């Protein structure tokens, strides 16, 4: 038993080496020649197409390729064996391509050509297996219709197309595609939409693709604007509320005070306090100004902006401090106690705690 297994293994290795040698010679062939031999092998060796004499087809193949008899016969026999070998990968073409390149030694280009040809000729067989009647799922017939309902109000210039596409395969399966998505005609009724045209030398280039991209982008934005306008006319109260909220948020964001504005307020209040005698200074205002000034000088002031509102808060260290306690992430201020660090709130162009503290800065009681 051991001797038989060893002889079988030696025979298998010899056939494998012989096959790899033939594959190396096939790799030297031109791509067109390889494709012609590939088609011939499948038509007359694998599928055995009737109606054409094999001898005549072989003679025509030899004339068209210009190969010697021994080279041509070697390529035909090798590809015939490869087709039989590929049967075990009929459902896994990717693994078949790996087998061709890694095991047999085919070039990537020729292996890819073989796989494409293999998939093309095997697809009808797989389609037949998927249908109960055994017929192919190739497209046999297609019909379509388009219904357009125009609105009664000319000012809206709206149309709602309902497109229906019905496809039928040879197996009798019906595929129905229906699109009832409402679209609006951007140009008015009776108007024609401008079409970008390019000279022949620019067609298919990046210039045409770039122009078409921006054109489509503008059309999409135009459709959104038209849709928003129509919805606003249908629901004016909702549109008014949303517009008011959006306008209010925009106004708040434009008047969101920054750190420079905070420091400017600090200088203004300091100048105002300097014009008043110390005996008239409000202690609360004086202490608040002193605290803010010291925090600014030590570099502990920080600003947190939320787009429409800002907070001035105090950090433990300056940004320039590089000690371990200042740089360790575990010792950073916690969000749970962050509200205790806030010293002012900026909203609508005002720092409200500053304004409250400095209301009666010149009244000492």
Give the start-end residues of each E strand in the chain. 139-150, 158-169, 174-179, 183-184, 301-305, 310-314, 342-347, 350-351
The pLDDT value recorded for residue 310 is 92
Q: How far apart are CA 276 and CA 362, in angstroms?
A: 7
pLDDT surpasses 60 at 257: yes
**pLDDT tens sequence across 284-333:** 888 888 888 888 888 888 888 898 999 988 888 888 888 888 888 888 88
Percent of the chain with pLDDT over 70: 70
Q: Is 225 helix (H, G, I), strand (E, B) or coil?
A: helix
| Helix intervals (H) in 177-323 | 206-234, 236-254, 259-274, 283-298
Q: How confident is the model at residue 177 (pLDDT cuts 50, 70, 90)?
A: low
172-186, 330-344, 346-360: which has the minimum mean pLDDT? 172-186
Q: How far apart are CA 317 and CA 128, in angstroms?
A: 76
Could you tell me the two tokens for 241? 């509320």
- Residue 305 CB coordination number (10 Å): 14
The 8 Å CB, 24+ separation contacts for 89-94 are 90/122, 90/126, 93/118, 93/119
Q: How far apart are CA 316 and CA 288, in angstroms?
A: 18
215-224, 345-354, 356-365: which has the minimum mean pLDDT? 356-365
The length of the chain, given as a count of residues: 365
Q: How far apart are CA 279 and CA 270, in angstroms?
A: 16
In which element (H, E) is residue 4 found? helix 2-27
Q: How confident is the model at residue 187 (pLDDT cuts 50, 70, 90)?
A: very low
13-22, 28-37, 130-139: which has the minimum mean pLDDT? 130-139
**pLDDT tens sequence across 22-73:** 888 888 888 888 888 878 877 776 555 555 677 777 777 778 888 887 888 8
**pLDDT tens sequence across 97-116:** 787 888 778 888 888 888 88
């Amino acid at each position: 038993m051991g001797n038989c297994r060893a002889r079988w293994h030696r025979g298998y290795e010899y056939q494998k080496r012989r096959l790899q040698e033939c594959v190396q010679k096939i790799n030297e062939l031109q791509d067109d020649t390889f494709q012609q031999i590939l088609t011939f092998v499948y038509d007359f060796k694998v599928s055995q197409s009737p109606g054409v004499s094999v001898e005549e087809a072989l003679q025509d193949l030899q004339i068209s390729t210009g190969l010697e008899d021994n080279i041509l016969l070697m390529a035909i026999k090798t590809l015939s064996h490869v087709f039989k070998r590929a049967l075990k990968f009929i459902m896994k073409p990717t693994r078949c391509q790996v087998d061709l390149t890694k095991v047999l030694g085919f070039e990537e280009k020729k292996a890819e050509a073989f796989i494409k040809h293999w998939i093309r000729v095997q697809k009808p067989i797989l389609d037949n297996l998927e249908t109960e009647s055994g017929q192919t799922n190739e497209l046999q017939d297609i019909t379509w219709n388009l219904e357009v309902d125009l609105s009664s109000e000319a000012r809206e210039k709206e149309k709602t197309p309902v497109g229906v596409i019905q496809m039928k395969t040879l197996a009798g399966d019906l595929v129905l595609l229906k699109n009832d998505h409402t679209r609006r005609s951007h140009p008015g009724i009776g108007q024609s939409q401008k079409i970008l045209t390019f000279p022949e030398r620019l067609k298919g280039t990046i210039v045409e693709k770039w122009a078409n991209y921006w054109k489509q982008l503008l059309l999409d934005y135009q459709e959104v604007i038209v849709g928003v306008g129509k919805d606003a006319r249908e629901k004016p109260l909702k549109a008014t509320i949303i517009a008011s909220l959006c306008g209010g948020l925009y106004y708040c964001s434009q008047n969101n005070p920054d750190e420079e504005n905070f420091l400017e307020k600090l200088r203004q209040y300091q100048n105002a306090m300097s014009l008043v005698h110390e005996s008239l200074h409000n202690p609360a205002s004086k202490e608040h100004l002193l605290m803010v000034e010291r925090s600014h000088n030590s570099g502990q002031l920080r600003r947190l902006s939320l787009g429409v509102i800002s907070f001035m808060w105090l950090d433990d260290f300056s940004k320039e401090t590089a000690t371990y306690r200042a740089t360790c992430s575990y010792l950073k201020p916690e969000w749970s106690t962050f509200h205790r660090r806030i010293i002012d709130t900026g909203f609508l162009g005002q720092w409200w705690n500053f304004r409250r503290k400095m209301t009666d800065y010149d009244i000492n009681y």
